[in-house]
Homo-oligomer: A and B are copies of this chain.
Amino acid sequence: MQITMSLDGYVAGPNPSLEHPLGERGEELHQWAFAARSFREMHGMEGGEPGPDSDIITEAFQNVGAYILGRNMFGGGPGPWDESWRGWWGDDPPYHAPAFILTHHAREPLEMQGGTTFYFVTDGIHAALDRAKNAAGEKDVAIAGGADVVQQYLKAGLIDEMEIHVVPPLLGSGTRLFDNMDGRQAQYDVVRVVSSPAVTHVKYRLRR
């Protein structure tokens, strides 16, 4: 799992909407990634800076064989699916791998361009993880967010490695990452810290 968080603990701003899926000021969180060459390449854009931030993005995605994401990361709003909705990500989503979407509403798999197929999982986080592990084979499973999905896997002690990208802006409100843990935060060891003025990347491994 890897995710960007404001220094005051938010991974999305308040009042997310179709126009601002990351919430108010949510884009500020991701400026470091938008500026990085590897991120821009992954999203079909030119330019961007090489360097440590770019390398960390490359590393985060290079061995991923399957993704798990919450419904809001795919988009479409609450309730049963509008089958015409094919997600935020356009025809060629940046996953390029099977992506398992946690939802309360069944839907047929959705095959996109570039290797991404969205599967809709209605029987919970353990079932989604089993299916993602099978799909990933020898490769890693990435928990792609949002915060509610990450919190469920953290509470269950199922995240082996995570990297938090901490950025300086103070959002003041929105969706917290480390919340709703009911005191069940597992113990993590710090395995690497990489810093630039724009972002501090802290990588953790679950203590067994």
Q: Does A181 lie at the interface of the complex (its beta carbon under 8 Å from any beta carbon of B)?
A: yes
Interface size class of A (residues with CB under 8 A): 20 to 34
Task: Give the shortest distance, in Å, between A156 (CB) and chain B (any CB).
Answer: 15
Tell me whether chain A's interface is mostly helix, strand or loop, or mixed: loop
Task: Give the shortest distance, in Å, between A196 (CB) and chain B (any CB).
Answer: 8
Contacts of A170 in B (CB 8 A): 178, 185, 187-188, 204
Task: Give the shortest distance, in Å, between A79 (CB) and chain B (any CB).
Answer: 28
Q: How far, in angstroms, from A181 to B14 measured CA to CA in the complex?
A: 14
Q: Does A75 lie at the interface of the complex (its beta carbon under 8 Å from any beta carbon of B)?
A: no
Contacts of A184 in B (CB 8 A): 172
Q: Does A193 lie at the interface of the complex (its beta carbon under 8 Å from any beta carbon of B)?
A: yes
- Is B200's CB under 8 angstroms from A166's CB? yes
Q: Does A113 lie at the interface of the complex (its beta carbon under 8 Å from any beta carbon of B)?
A: no
Q: How far, in angstroms, from A188 to B187 measured CA to CA in the complex?
A: 32
Q: Does A202 lie at the interface of the complex (its beta carbon under 8 Å from any beta carbon of B)?
A: yes
Contacts of A166 in B (CB 8 A): 7, 166, 200
Q: How far, in angstroms, from A9 to B8 measured CA to CA in the complex?
A: 7
Q: Does A109 lie at the interface of the complex (its beta carbon under 8 Å from any beta carbon of B)?
A: no
Q: How far, in angstroms, from A185 to B169 measured CA to CA in the complex?
A: 12
